[in-house]
Amino acid sequence: MQVERMGSALRTILGLAMIVAGMCSAVVQLAKGGAAAASGQASPAIAQTAETPRIENAQLERRTAGASLDATFRKIAGTAEKAEWVGYHVDQAAGERGVCCDNNWNDVNCETCRLEKENGGMSSTTHTDQSVKLEGARQLVVLLRLEGKQVAQIRIASGDCTLDAGGLAFIWLAGVKASDSVALLSTFVRGSDFEDRGDHGIGNGALTAIALHADASADRALESFVMPEQREPLRRQAAFWMGAARGKTGLTALQHMAKTDSSSDVRAHVAFALSASHEAGALGEMIRMAHDDTSSHVRGQALFWLAQKAGKKAVGTITGAIDNDPDTDVKKKAVFALSQLPKDEGVPRLIEVAQTNRNGEVRKQAMFWLGQSNDPRALQFFEKVLTQ
């Protein structure tokens, strides 16, 4: 009996020892994993979490934005001697399309965005229907490249895009508020870089990112960028994003610009921006500009974009300009606008202009665009003219 009791006790002790050994092993493994995360060493492909997109080929470090995104970012930038990336996400403005990598608009899920590849090249091998990822708000990833303690580049990507950091350090900031992001990005939009480098500048990257924020602060920022005291390149680009991404609020701002901006070049760009808007009132404002703007350049541009956007609905405005606009150049632009309509609408109208318009320059223009149409009806018209 004593032997049995001793054997039972030994078995109990051995069992407890095995449990303790297993717990120690688990603690060691967890400690190793925690140490790896704390050191910022990233595996070749880092799994996507609620706060972090898929990131590969990066020395990843996660931080929180804290109470002040601006202060946190400036502190990071102040120590960034070598090239590194800082990224965070915000909710993306609603729209029919998602941005994949920079301005590579796409209706499908993204694959890999290679941040260090020239021109931000995409590597895409498979496509998935967009509908599988529309649960909740879409995420916009804002990316800032630092080097020499300065911001060297600002880019954007979709939240479902894998980011390849090219082996550089990558600091991911969690908990960023959209309004704080807009405030930080606005400082780069207002810098001289916007005018100096145009579409490829830091300011333009910041402007694009702001326009795609799903937050009212983005509307207020864009409205400040089109104020009369702002430079024309900024007013033009901000106008485009108001039409392309800001819905009704953007349309209201464009309608105001169309009537009040002192620059005919800016107003002409407003006509283009209106053509990018999906709001019902955009077409009416384009028609008004084609009729009433004091600049022949603006009226001509409005006619052109009307033809691109409205098709059959624009015919009356376009033919009205051919018949009634006092400027021959506008009449000629209206003829070109007819050539941009679907052929069943445009070709018969061009033939009518070529036959009956009293302005010789306008008739020549109509015949030129008929010749470019490769339409059998145009050939029949030329044969008739030549045989008379």
Nearest alpha-carbon partner for 200 in 297, 119, 283: 119
Q: What is the pLDDT of residues 257-286, one digit of tens each?
A: 999 999 999 999 999 999 999 999 999 999
Range with the lowest mean pLDDT among 50-54, 176-180, 306-310? 50-54
CA angle 368, 370, 375 (to 5 degrees): 150
DSSP assignment string, 160-204: TSEEE-TT-EEEEEES--HHHHHHHHHHHHTSTHHHHHGGGSHHH
Distances (CA, A) of 200 to 154, 197, 235, 384: 10, 6, 16, 52
DSSP assignment string, 97-124: SEE-BTT-EESB---EEETTSGGG-EE-
Q: What is the pLDDT of residues 233-253, one digit of tens each?
A: 999 999 999 999 999 999 999
The pLDDT of residue 115: 92
Q: What is the overall mean pLDDT for the chain?
A: 82
Range with the lowest mean pLDDT among 28-32, 106-110, 187-191, 230-234? 28-32
74 in helix, strand or coil?
Answer: helix
The pLDDT of residue 10: 38
Question: Cα(15)–Cα(4) distance, rounded to whole angstroms?
Answer: 16
- What percentage of the chain reaches a pLDDT higher than 70? 76
User: At 180, is the pLDDT very low, low, confident or very high (cuts 50, 70, 90)?
Assistant: very high
Name the strands in the sheet holding 122-123, side by side, starting at the edge strand that comes first in the sequence.
45-46, 55-56, 162-164, 112-114, 122-123
139 in helix, strand or coil?
Answer: strand
| Structure-token match 């688990």, residue found | 26
Question: Cα(354)–Cα(202) distance, rounded to whole angstroms?
Answer: 49
> Is residue 1 predicted with pLDDT exceeding 80?
no
Largest CA distance in the chain: 130
The pLDDT of residue 311: 77
R_g over Cα of the chain: 30
Q: Across residues 46-51, what is the average pLDDT?
A: 52
Nearest alpha-carbon partner for 359 in 388, 321, 387: 321
CA-based end-to-end distance of the chain: 130
Question: Cα(218)–Cα(222) distance, rounded to whole angstroms?
Answer: 6
| Structure-token match 């916009």, residue found | 140
Q: Across residues 21-37, what is the average pLDDT?
A: 40
Contacts of 124 (CB under 8 A, 6+ apart): 110, 111, 112
pTM over 0.85: no
The neighbouring-strand residues paired with 171 are 61, 86
Helices marked H in the chain — which ranges? Answer: 2-39, 69-77, 178-189, 193-197, 202-211, 216-225, 232-245, 247-260, 264-276, 281-292, 296-310, 315-324, 328-339, 343-356, 360-373, 376-387
Q: What is the pLDDT of residues 322-333, one digit of tens each?
A: 999 999 999 999
User: At 8, is the pLDDT very low, low, confident or very high (cuts 50, 70, 90)?
Assistant: very low
> Is residue 193 predicted with pLDDT exceeding 50?
yes
The pLDDT of residue 80: 95
Question: Which of left, alpha, beta for 288 (phi over 0: left; psi -120 to 50: alpha)?
Answer: alpha
